[in-house]
Amino acid sequence: MLFSTAYAHHVLGRPSYSLNEDSNTPPSMHVETQIGGYFVTYMVFPAFPKPGEPGRINLYAKRIDSGEPLEGGVTFSVRDDSWWSSKQEQIGTQAPDDTVFRQGFVFSEPGDYIITARFVSDGEPHTIDFPLTIGEKSPFGPLGTAFGVVLAVLIGVKFIQRKRLLRAIIRDAQREKT
């Protein structure tokens, strides 16, 4: 028999390229995009962020033409992902750490948020927005909730109309008796 060492490229059945240095789970989001002259990759850890638990955003940015990493800082901010919320809160400005911009976060409330990463290169501002869900997602969503409210109102109106109809029938029957 021949014995040799085998090196695995996965942990728990998951590819190792989706893992970071201190997590055994893949990120909840791994997005690659192009903005201006930069190729940007961002990841959010842990895979399922929960309220009150720390998480982290890793952002990598390198020039498309030369592969040089972004120098300078990236400013991260957050706002609620809703039509009515315009309040935006800055959560930090990060310098590169081994060509990675790492921003920690802790959210106290579950919900849907928009994270914004901003940087300036060659005097030109660049902005990247991406969604982040903290906690369990509602199984209904806004359309399901709206449908449920409309259905409840229709059922309520039906019962009120039925009650009025029965009262009218009883009133008419009593008038005929007298």
Q: What is the pLDDT along the chain (178 residues), one digit of tens a residue?
A: 555 444 444 444 444 444 445 555 667 678 888 988 899 999 888 878 889 999 999 999 999 999 999 988 999 999 988 777 678 889 999 998 888 999 999 999 888 899 999 999 888 999 999 888 888 876 667 778 888 899 999 999 999 999 999 998 988 888 888 7
- How distant is the alpha carbon of residue 50 from its chain centre? 11
Handedness of CA 140, 44, 78, 35 (dihedral sign): negative
- pLDDT at res. 65: 92
Contact 93, 120 (CB under 8 A): no
The angle formed by the CA atoms of residues 19, 23 and 25, to the nearest 5 degrees, is 60
Which secondary-structure segment (H or E) carries 176?
helix 141-177
The helix, strand and coil proportions of the chain, stated in percent and rounded to the nearest 5, come to: 20, 40, 35
Q: Could you give the count of Cα atoms lying within 13 Å of 21 in the half-sphere of its Cβ?
A: 5
Tell me the pairing of strands 124-134 and 14-15.
unpaired
- The pLDDT value recorded for residue 112 is 87
26 token code pair = 């893949």
3-state DSSP call for residue 29? strand
At residue 25's C-alpha, the angle toward residues 19 and 26, to 5°, is 55
Look at residue 59 in the predicted model and tell me its pLDDT.
93
CATH superfamily of 10-134: Macroglobulin (MG2) domain (2.60.40.1930)
pLDDT of the residue at 66: 92
- Specify the amino acid at residue 126: H
pLDDT, residue 177, reads 81
Q: Using CA atoms in the order 98, 101, 107, 112, what is the torsion angle rounded to 10 degrees?
A: -130
- Let me know: does 58 contact 20? Beta carbons within 8 Å: yes
